[in-house]
Amino acid sequence: MARIFAATIATAAAGGTVNLTFEDCGDASTVGTITDLKPTSLELGGTTTLVGSGSLTQDVPAGDFSFTAKALGVTILSDGGDLCADKSIQLPLGVGSFNYKSAGCPVKAGDVALTFEATLSASIPSQIAKLDINVAATGSDGTKALCAVIHTSPGMMEGERDLSAYSYDEYVSEFGKAENGADRKAIFEANMALIRQHNSDTEKSWFATVNQFTDMTNDEFRAMTRGRKEIMFGGEEQPHKLTGRAIPDRKDWREEQGVTAVKDQGGCGSCWAFSAAETFESHLAIQTQTPIQKLSPQQIVSCSPNPEHCGGTGGCQGSTQPLAFNYTVTAGLTTEASYPYQGRTGTCQQSKIKPVAKNGGYKQLTTNSYTELIDAVANVGPVAISIAASGFAFQFYGGGVLSNCNDYVMDHAVQLVGYGTQGTKDYWLVRNSWGSWGEQGYIRMQRYGEGNEPCGTDRNPQDGDACEGDTTPRKYCGECGILSASSYPTDFTTFETVSV
């Protein structure tokens, strides 16, 4: 019967695993004791066999059992049955079921082992993330046979690492870092405390992890993010017009060979160039119906002008995707093989530019329009977007659906490649340019729908959102300001076919 209780608990959690703890609640007149429960965690999305072990001081010839599951003090499930017979119980909210496997009666005095099979869905609603379940068994003669309370709580999410004992030495070895003395170790330890604190939150929708930024202060991390400015450039810029086509339930351009492999900008503030080059790659392939090619962000970093210092002063000091798309209208874009990435601004090397295509212009989406953004990514292709990415969440994101960002200072450029739903959360699928960071280079960010997106004010546009001298605050909407500024190139002319 301990197993019965455990199965019910398991259904109440959210994430990749569910943790189980228990305590015996029998009194002096109870003839049974539960002393062990295995396993102590359950994987969601499958069937697990649980075994509760204990002992009886006397035979129990027959009887009944009952159990009550409570979430936040409210009873959500009450059931029971014959102690001597198998029993199948459906769990609340359609999250699963369990089958109690009776060993038959009488249950003899001595060691006992009770077994059941718990089948759980892959996602459990957060409102029943923590359960307290009371199980009691009574013999047919009124004898108290068993009393147990089992507690459930969300365990590690899918992909989450156990960092409870992770050390600085392990970090240095894993990430190939040079040991830089006590100061750098102290930064690491302070960040690990924040990561562990976040991951201990039983209501979290995303988890933090270690990465190449874990030994950096937040100021050092911020230096790697650069913003962009939502400015227009003459005749090449055009608004996005709604396609009128249906919006499917999910979209992932990776499944349609619409994106290249994840890239790494390194310590250069060239996110804007990566966002632009990646989106150029995607739309060239989609619009011309040709295999996708790996093109050169370094050409954009070194050669794209930024006379008004929008989003930075250019190169590794930041610029904007529209400036990049405006540049490629005349210069075109060459391959990564012809103009390899160097991780520094450098000087423009015209001899390396052998353009495979140029765009005739680009489309700029209306600021803060959810409807335009989801239409574009669903029906046109990946979109170059900008977000607020210099806080704790982006520095240590490991996986899950990022929510409650509460940051609208737009300072980083990325690529939107799709959207979907996990459990009860809708999300945007975003490609970053920090190597294997996050979910193999990607992050999922919560989306709320037209009219429901959170909004905030960027009162520090000079941190990356404005051209030089422009201090006008801006209102941005979406998780981390994801609806702030979005664009994609159009009207391609190809010069040659290059195999990459």
Predicted confidence (pLDDT) per residue in 89-133, tens digit: 888 888 888 788 888 899 999 998 878 788 888 777 766 667 888
Looking at residue 240, its pLDDT comes to 94
The span from the CA of 74 to the CA of 70, in Å, is 5
Q: Helix %, strand %, coil % for the chain, to 5?
A: 25, 35, 45
Say whether 406 is catalytic.
no
Give residue 204's pLDDT band: very low, low, confident or very high (50, 70, 90).
confident
Say whether 404 is catalytic.
no
The span from the CA of 321 to the CA of 386, in Å, is 9
Structure tokens given for 352: 């390396």
Please report, for the chain, the start and end positions of each structural domain, with discontinuous segments joined by +: 2-154, 161-203, 217-494
* pLDDT over 70 (residue 13): no
Say whether 151 is catalytic.
no
Task: Sort 481 into a burial class: Cβ within 10 Å, 0-12 / 13-18 / 19+.
Answer: buried
Contact 433, 271 (CB under 8 A): yes
Q: DSSP labels for 449-492?
A: -TTT--EEEES-GGGTTSBTT----EEEESGGGTTS-EEEEEEE
Regarding the domain delimited by 217-494, which CATH topology (the fold level of the hierarchy) does it fall under?
Answer: Cathepsin B; Chain A (3.90.70)
Give residue 236's pLDDT band: very low, low, confident or very high (50, 70, 90).
low
Residue with tokens 């992050």: 443
Which residues are paired to 464 by β-bridges?
none
**Active-site residue among 84, 147, 271, 348?**
271
CA atoms within 13 A on the CB side of 389: 28
Among the residue ranges 275-284, 299-308, 424-433, the one predicted with the least confidence is 299-308
304 or 16, which is more confident? 304
Give residue 230's pLDDT band: very low, low, confident or very high (50, 70, 90).
very low
Highest mean pLDDT among 1-15, 18-32, 45-59, 442-456: 442-456
Contact 482, 446 (CB under 8 A): no
Residues 211-228 have a mean pLDDT of 82
**Active-site residue among 19, 412, 477, 480?**
412
| Residue 196 DSSP label | H
Task: Sort 109 into a burial class: Cβ within 10 Å, 0-12 / 13-18 / 19+.
Answer: middle
Residues 321-342 have a mean pLDDT of 96
Q: How many CB atoms lie within 10 A of CB 174?
A: 12
**Active-site residue among 191, 432, 477, 480?**
432
Averaged pLDDT score across all residues of the chain: 87
The span from the CA of 48 to the CA of 345, in Å, is 55
CATH number assigned to the domain covering 2-154:
2.60.40.770
CA distances from 106 to 83, 113, 118, 143, 410 (A): 10, 14, 24, 14, 69
* Structural Rg of the chain based on CA atoms: 28
Looking at residue 196, its pLDDT comes to 93
290 or 42, which is more confident? 290
Q: Tell me if domain 2-154 and domain 217-494 are identical in fold.
A: no
Please give the torsion angle defined by the CA atoms of residues 272, 273, 278 and 284, in that order, rounded to the nearest 10 degrees: 120
Residues 187, 190, 196: CA angle, nearest 5 degrees: 135
Among the residue ranges 44-58, 330-344, 422-436, the one predicted with the least confidence is 44-58
